[in-house]
């Protein structure tokens, strides 16, 4: 399984991902799909701090990620793919690119009109629509912050 985790997390590459999920999945690389970070070398340096030896991070725009995704999914290396926003994952999965793929919602925090659904997931109308569309395009969306936690279904996220 070349891409061992698809995750939406506002913090992108952080302790929960590298230490929690990283210990469980032992990825070789992190694929960060985010237009802003892909264009900001200084930000990339921040994210690369603390990566385990032998583990790399790559930063790609959404357009580049859509073009590279078939290659990533065939690659022998074990990758974790991260987006900051549900809208980015939705756009990545448009046209069925993520059909049948589990997508983990790991951290969407309070801002603006978002309301708490789980302690680590706050959703507003925009995020709800993005997650619904992502699932309609074939992705299997659940929420789970760390591997030891129970996965929460999209239905429960959207409808309680």
Partner 1 sequence: MSDAPLVRGVVVGHGGLAEGLVDAARQITGVDGEAISALSNRGLGPEDLRRRIEDALGSGPALVFVDLRMGSCGMAARRIARERPDTAVLFGVNLPQLLDFVTHRDLPLGEIVERALERGRSAICRDEEPDGAHADRSAPGR
CB of 116 to partner 1, least distance (A): 8
| 123 touching partner 1, by CB under 8 A | no
| 49 touching partner 1, by CB under 8 A | yes
E-assigned strands of the chain?
3-9, 29-33, 56-60, 79-83, 102-107, 115-118, 121-123, 140-143, 152-153
CB-based contacts of 131, cutoff 8 Å, min separation 6: 86, 90, 105, 123, 141, 154, 157, 158
Task: By CB under 8 A, name the one of 32, 57, 80, 108 that touches partner 1.
Answer: 108
Q: Please identify, using beta-carbon distances, which residue of 44 and 61 lies nearer to partner 1.
A: 44
| 50 touching partner 1, by CB under 8 A | yes
CB of 84 to partner 1, least distance (A): 9
| 117 touching partner 1, by CB under 8 A | no
CB-based contacts of 125, cutoff 8 Å, min separation 6: 113
Give me the residues that bind partner 1 (CB under 8 A), please: 10-11, 13-16, 18, 42, 46-47, 49-51, 107-111, 119-120
């Amino acid at each position: 399984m070349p891409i061992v985790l698809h995750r939406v997390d506002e913090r992108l590459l952080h302790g929960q991902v590298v230490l929690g999920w990283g210990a469980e999945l032992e990825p070789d690389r992190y694929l960060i799909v985010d237009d802003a970070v892909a264009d900001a070398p200084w930000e990339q340096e921040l994210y690369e701090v603390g990566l385990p030896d032998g583990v790399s991070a790559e930063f790609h725009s959404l357009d580049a990620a859509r073009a590279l995704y078939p290659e990533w999914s065939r690659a022998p290396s074990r990758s974790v793919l991260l987006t900051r926003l549900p809208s980015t994952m939705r756009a990545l999965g448009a046209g069925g690119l993520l059909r049948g793929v589990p997508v983990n919602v790991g951290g969407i925090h309070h801002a603006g009109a978002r309301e708490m659904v789980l302690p680590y997931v706050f959703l507003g109308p925009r995020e709800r629509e993005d997650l619904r569309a992502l699932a309609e395009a074939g992705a299997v969306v659940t929420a789970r912050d760390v591997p030891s936690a129970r996965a929460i279904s999209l239905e429960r996220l959207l409808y309680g």
